[in-house]
Amino acid sequence: MAVIADKCPDITITVVDINKERIDAWNEENLEKLPIFEPGLSEKIKKCRGQNLFFSSEIEKNIQCADMIFISVNTPTKKKGLGAGQASDLKWVEACARQVAEFATGYTIVVEKSTLPVKTAEVIKNILAASQTNLEKTNKSFDVLSNPEFLAEGTAIKDLEDPDRVLIGGENQNAIDILSNIYNNWVPRKKILHTNIWSSELAKLTANAFLAQRISSINSISALCEATGASVSEVSRAIGSDKRIGSKFLDSGPGFGGSCFKKDILNLVYLSNYFGLPEVAEFWEQVTILNNWHQHRISKLIVKKLFGTITEKKICILGFSFKANTNDTRESSAIVICKDLLEEGARLSIHDPKVSEKQISSDLGVEPIAKENYPANKENNYGGWEFHSDILTAAKGSDAVVVLTEWEEYSTIQWDLIAKSMRKPSWVFDSRSIVVKEKVLKAGLNLWRLGDGN
Ligand code: UDX
């Protein structure tokens, strides 16, 4: 919305949310304190907020005066009931549709922005249609469009300003044209694709499934490279130069994270089963099974290299967000790997340039603990962790440094300095292939690099 506000000064945009605290945070004077860290976002907010971009918790009033409403609520995987563990929970979408049905006036275009299972637009349409027949002399009318978002975190502003495509699914050409015209303020016509509404919904799930599948594919090959003496980066380069395959999204890493991939694949699995296609469901499910196996593979390997035990050993974790340039930790592989290491009794010292100690605490489900209080639980030998904002301090006295996120600053670490303060034999585990191999080896450290069988 910040990008639309920036590109279309004549359109007034109000972002509403039932969570008043969040809205207050978006209205925060100090732009450093915005709830999301995303490169370039605070500049847009600074420019447009109070001009044509507003944040408000007055939902009813803003629905009333809106010509177009984007539903952008979360659709988490259902935890219980029908489809638990796979299907998306649509309760927030339904609640929004009901509010829109109740408070909208005149002609309103409702746009699905949240990633939704195929045929959700039908649910929204039914709810909206019911509101039209309920009130006899209603002046309400609606059109529903699907306009999935393909931006990736960390590059969101760039992705929005120069998208590969904008996808608009719908039935009513007039509504489609109105939304297309908004994007056309900065996106060329030929990049704005029109499809039917189901294709649009399915395209979003499929795009994420394909991207995740590429990562699981290359991660599976990384294990084979390690076993056979090949190098996964060389294999990636070799296959990526085939135009049919392409070079993007072939970086082997600690497994994919983020709020979308796992959720969307599970959704696809659920839908395939629902429509009587178990073979299709199994095919896609394997992508998440492999991802999960791969994450645990890394933690097991660390334990193995450190002589089969890490109880009370200090392990420095570099990076906790699911990828660089974001403070988002949802589904981050770091959570799985750190939990495994804690289970083995390790003392973790965690560094991340943007993720807060509080967030890590909530993700790991345990509070940080001071050095003298290890192990945290003497009976089961469960480890503990502490947070450090400085890499050198985080690594001091550790047996191993594990790189889990590809933050730029980890590629320029002075390993000779770090090596001096580590306990010997010391290890560097690089799951992102970003450390400079020669520098690590020259500093006298042992190096394990994901997919590097040399
Ligand atoms: C993804 C999609 O890319 C985006 O189009 C969609 O709108 C939302 O979901 P995002 O989750 O922000 O975006 O991040 P993305 O860059 O796709 O990375 C997802 C995960 O895959 C990260 O954990 C990342 O580290 C990992 N990844 C990505 C790899 O391990 N290797 C790669 O080559 C690329």
Give 155-178 pLDDT, tens digit per residue: 999 999 999 999 999 999 999 999
153 lines ligand 1 (CB under 6 A): yes
Q: At 242, list the tokens.
A: 């085939």
**Do residues 106 and 132 lie in contact, with contact meaning Cβ atoms separated by under 8 Å?**
no
Structural domain that includes position 338:
211-454
pLDDT per position as a tens digit, 349-407: 999 999 999 999 999 999 998 877 776 667 778 999 999 999 999 999 999 999 999 99
Region of residue 258 (left: phi > 0; alpha: psi -120 to 50; beta: else): left
Question: How far is it, in rounded angstroms, from Cα 446 to Cα 128?
Answer: 62
**H or E stretch at 357:** helix 357-364
The answer on 219 and 142 residing in a single domain is: no
The per-residue b/e assignment along 170-193, b for 16 or more CB within 10 angstroms, e otherwise, is: beeeebbebbbebbeeebeeeebe
Question: Tens digit of pLDDT for each residue in 213-259?
Answer: 999 999 999 999 999 999 999 999 999 999 999 999 999 999 999 99
244 shares its domain with 191: no
8 A C-beta contact, residue 433 and residue 404:
no
Cα of 255 to ligand 1 centre, how many Å?
10
Report d(CA 121, CA 138) in Å as an integer.
22
Residue 136 has pLDDT above 80, yes or no: no
* Separation of alpha carbons 107 and 35, rounded Å: 33
Confidence of residue 342 (pLDDT cuts 50, 70, 90): very high
Known catalytic membership, residue 8: no
Question: How many domains does the chain divide into?
Answer: 2
DSSP bridge pairs for 110: 69, 144
Does the CB atom of residue 151 touch ligand 1 within 6 A?
Answer: yes
Q: How far is CA 192 from the centre of its chain?
A: 24
Are 72 and 157 within one domain? yes
| Domain CATH code at residue 408 | 3.40.50.720
In this structure, are 13 and 54 located in the same domain?
A: yes
Which of 8, 48, 225, 260 is catalytic? The answer is 260
The gap between the terminal CA atoms of the chain, to the nearest Å, is 48
What is the best residue among 215, 219, 266, 434 to mutate for testing ligand 1's pocket, by most ligand atoms within 8 Å of CB?
A: 215
Mean pLDDT for the stretch of residues 197-205: 94
Distance from the alpha carbon of residue 444 to the mean position of ligand 1, in angstroms: 34
For ligand 1, atom 9: residue with the closest CA: 260
Is the CB–ligand 1 distance for residue 149 below 6 Å?
yes
Q: Are residues 106 and 222 in the same domain?
A: no
Whether ligand 1 lies within 6 angstroms of the CB of 208 is answered as yes
- Is 407 near ligand 1, meaning CB less than 6 Å away? no
Residue of 323, 405, 433 best suited for mutating to test ligand 1, as the one with most atoms within 8 Å of CB: 323
Q: Are 16 and 57 in contact (CB under 8 A)?
A: yes
CA atoms of 333 and 19, how far apart (whole Å): 28
Q: What are the DSSP E strand ranges found in 287-376? A: 314-318, 347-351
- 241 and 175 part of one domain: no
Q: Both tokens of residue 442?
A: 């020259």
Residues sharing a CB contact under 8 Å with residue 195, sequence separation 6 or more, in sequence order: 167, 168, 169, 203
Q: Indicate the residue type of 262.
A: K
Q: Identify which of 260, 336, 432 to mutate to test ligand 1's pocket (most ligand atoms within 8 A of the CB).
A: 260
Q: Are residues 186 and 311 in the same domain?
A: no
Tell me: do 357 and 372 sit in the same domain.
yes
Q: Is the CB of 215 under 6 A from ligand 1?
A: yes
Please answer whether residues 381 and 401 qualify as being in contact, where contact means their C-beta atoms are separated by less than 8 angstroms.
no
Name which residue sits closest to atom 7 of ligand 1, judged by CA.
Answer: 150
Report the range of poorest mean pLDDT among 83-87, 208-212, 364-368: 83-87
Residue after which a domain boundary falls, among 204, 231, 259 = 204
Token readout for 96 is 């929004």
Instruction: With a cut of 70, say whether residue 438 has pLDDT above it.
Output: yes
Cα Rg of the chain (Å, integer): 24
Are residues 416 and 443 in contact, defined by beta-carbon separation less than 8 angstroms?
Answer: yes
Which amino acid does the sequence have at 363? D
